[in-house]
Amino acid sequence: MSSENAIGRSIELDTKRSRLWRRKGADLLFAAAALAAMLAALIVLLALLGQLLFDGAGRLTWQFVTSFPSRFPEQAGIISAWMGTLLVMFLTALTAVPLGLGAAIYLEEYAPSNRLTDVIEINIANLAGVPSIVYGLMALGLLVYEFRLGQSFLTAGLTLAMLILPMVIIASREAIRAVPPQIREAAYALGATKWQTVKDHVLPYSMGGILTGLILALSRAVGETAPLITVGALSFIAFLPHPPIQSDPPFISFQWLFDPFTVMPIQMFNWVSRPQEAFHVNAAAAGLVLLGMTLLMNAAAIVIRNRFRKRVHW
């Protein structure tokens, strides 16, 4: 009788133990699956880099960087594309920084809680979700045809500035919000005005976060293609824009603002959509340059973020 009981108990114990093992096994399997998903994502990233390097590294010569596009793939290069990217980025930053920073400062430091503030906040959140090509359509209708800026550097820079504005505002607001209120109170206590407080205390302390967000936004803009195609980027530009600095008075020329433009991703898109394989090699080489630009910018953002995070202890 008692031995039967003991057997029953041990069977019960065995099933419990096996259930426990099964649960632990499932747990392990799940962890493995999750780890596999993560590795798969990273492997894809490596495959992408590998493919680009394998296809394009050989083509990445000095001649490639300093030549204009050509219908002969071996002679084609990217000088108009990377110059274009630099100029467009300059205009984008020049527009997006004051607007984005100004809006962020207003919303964090000045805005009363009223309906207008609510509308602005909701509006910025919504703008961040608008597909980039829609910005391109708006720029085509408004900047190109309504304001008659043409299919120019100016249009391209403004389009990308509008596109990254929500990102700049959101990142700057977070950085400004991270500055503790005691800093402001101390400044006010010494008789500083609101703007003095912002300019001399809040902004310097939040500069790390602001710069990080700005660089990330610009690195996104560097890779943007679709909105610039809609505003009429040309993919074959065998000349450079008018130089901004002249030898004759008035020395500075704004003629280049209205020149036709192209940028790196558009050059790459043009090459990749051609049937000839020789152009695909060029596309890969251009892709390497483009990827190099974005990776550098991302690395810079990470470095800045870490440096400022370490330095500031509230």
User: How many Å apart are CA 63 and CA 287, to the nearest integer?
Assistant: 16
Which of residues 253 and 306 has its CB atom nearest to another protein in the complex? 306
Which of residues 111 and 244 has its CB atom nearest to another protein in the complex? 111
Locate all alpha helices (DSSP H) within 236-276, ordered by sequence: 264-272
Which of residues 76 and 283 has its CB atom nearest to another protein in the complex? 283
User: How many Å apart are CA 94 and CA 96, to the nearest integer?
Assistant: 6
User: How many Å apart are CA 265 and CA 226, to the nearest integer?
Assistant: 9
- Minimum Å distance from CB 92 to another protein? 14
Which of residues 87 and 289 has its CB atom nearest to another protein in the complex? 289
193 Ramachandran zone, left/alpha/beta (phi>0; psi -120 to 50): beta
- Minimum Å distance from CB 6 to another protein? 25
- Minimum Å distance from CB 263 to another protein? 10
Which of residues 65 and 256 has its CB atom nearest to another protein in the complex? 65
- Minimum Å distance from CB 51 to another protein? 5
- Minimum Å distance from CB 97 to another protein? 10
Give per-residue burial for 265-301: e unless 16+ CB within 10 Å, then b. bbbbbbbeeeeeeebbbbbbbbbbbbbebbeebeeeb
- Minimum Å distance from CB 205 to another protein? 18
Which of residues 89 and 284 has its CB atom nearest to another protein in the complex? 284
Q: How far is CA 224 from the centre of its chain?
A: 9
- Minimum Å distance from CB 250 to another protein? 28
Structure token digits, residue 171: 């990142």
Nearest to 161 by CA among 100, 75, 76: 100
Which of residues 18 and 273 has its CB atom nearest to another protein in the complex? 273
Q: How far is CA 67 from the centre of its chain?
A: 27
C-beta separation of 265 from 236 below 8 A: no
